[in-house]
Amino acid sequence: MENHELEAERGRRLLEEIDEIVLVLDEHDRLVAASRRAHEAIDGLAHGELVAAELLQPEPWRPRRIPIELDGRRESLVYLRAPEDLAAYEELRAGFTAAVSHELRTPLARLLALLETAALPSADVQGLLEQSKAEVEQIRELIDDVLFLSELETGRAVVALTATPAAPVVRAVLEGLAERASRAGVVLSSELDETAEVPLRPRMLRVVLENLAENAIRYAGDGVDFSVTVRREDDDVVITAADSGIGVAEADLLRLFERFYRTDRARASRGTGLGLAIVKHIVTSAGGRVPASARPGGGLQIRIVFSG
């Protein structure tokens, strides 16, 4: 009973604190629960009462309904977008589209140049084909990341609504990246509280950890350490990803989680520039915080904090 009560309380707090307009409705569209943002944005919400019909129409709130079932009861999570948010959203979407287009042009231009070079009589065709494959892989990785981020933002992948033991996922991710890290000269390690749980689906936690580890493997430099620590700090569960690499300038720390933002060193790599943006979106969608800081002695430290 205590575990069930804890799960229920965790779910209630996540719903209340999420920075979105979210309603939980029963099968007759009566209000079961609502986020704090919903109460702030919509007048007249009352538990047990039918929600206003206009809230569930395509315009102006753009509702997105996700069916769920709890103990045999059919309910719905309904995500709404406030009308005043639409203009900002359209501006953001236009900017994102422009950024994606820009990011695709670079590998496409390199690919075209490689193919044109391969047509020359003295060309090393095999070597050029290998380089072309790398460019195609870069394009595929970028498209995959863009589609995944879009999936998260449109709600087709619910990141939370469950509790996952963190330690097994950390071990699986580090084991899966061990060979790649070794080739890059990066030593992986972990320090894990086996009892700590985070409010993320296992797949989402895996994506977060993979992106943090891959960020260190790509950018931290040769001969560095990368560690993942999971521990409890009072009522919080904290995942810390830290490397002993070259670190990040103070000015870059403020923009580290922006889409497509790269530090000077990162610009020379083949990353998509979306990994840390995906990390932030997943963590904040589940009610967590994800601050980044310079590590004492050099390197980068990213903390993921879920409050109890």
CA-CA distance, 90 to 171, in Å (whole number)?
40
**Mean pLDDT of all residues in 280-294:** 86
Distances in Å between the Cα of 190 and the Cα atoms of 89, 167, 292 are 39, 9, 19
Do the two domains 84-153 and 164-307 of this chain adopt the same fold? no
pLDDT beyond 80 at 13? no
CATH of range 84-153; options 3.40.50.620, 1.10.630.10, 1.10.287.130, 3.40.630.30: 1.10.287.130
CA-CA distance, 241 to 225, in Å (whole number)?
11
pLDDT digits (tens, 9 = 90+) for 26-49: 888 999 888 888 888 888 888 889
**Proportion of the chain above pLDDT 90, given as a percent:** 19
Q: How confident is the model at residue 264 (pLDDT cuts 50, 70, 90)?
A: very low
Q: How confident is the model at residue 175 (pLDDT cuts 50, 70, 90)?
A: very high
- Judge contact between 35 and 15, C-beta under 8 A: yes
pLDDT digits (tens, 9 = 90+) for 195-220: 999 988 888 888 899 989 988 888 77
Which pLDDT does position 146 carry in this prediction? 67
Give the highest mean pLDDT range of 63-67, 255-259, 263-267.
Answer: 63-67
Q: In CATH, what number does 164-307 get?
A: 3.30.565.10
Domain parsing of the chain, residue ranges:
2-81, 84-153, 164-307
pLDDT beyond 70 at 283? yes
Average pLDDT along the chain = 79
| DSSP string of 220-250, one letter each residue | S-TTEEEEEEEEEETTEEEEEEEE-SS---H
Which pLDDT does position 187 carry in this prediction? 93
CATH of range 2-81; options 3.30.450.20, 3.40.50.10470, 3.40.50.1440, 3.40.640.10: 3.30.450.20
Q: Please, what's the largest Cα pairwise distance for the chain? A: 77
pLDDT digits (tens, 9 = 90+) for 146-172: 666 666 665 555 555 578 899 999 999
CA-CA distance, 157 to 212, in Å (whole number)?
20
pLDDT digits (tens, 9 = 90+) for 86-130: 554 555 455 555 556 666 777 788 888 888 898 888 889 888 888
pTM for the full predicted model = 0.55
Which pLDDT does position 260 carry in this prediction? 58
Which pLDDT does position 268 carry in this prediction? 43
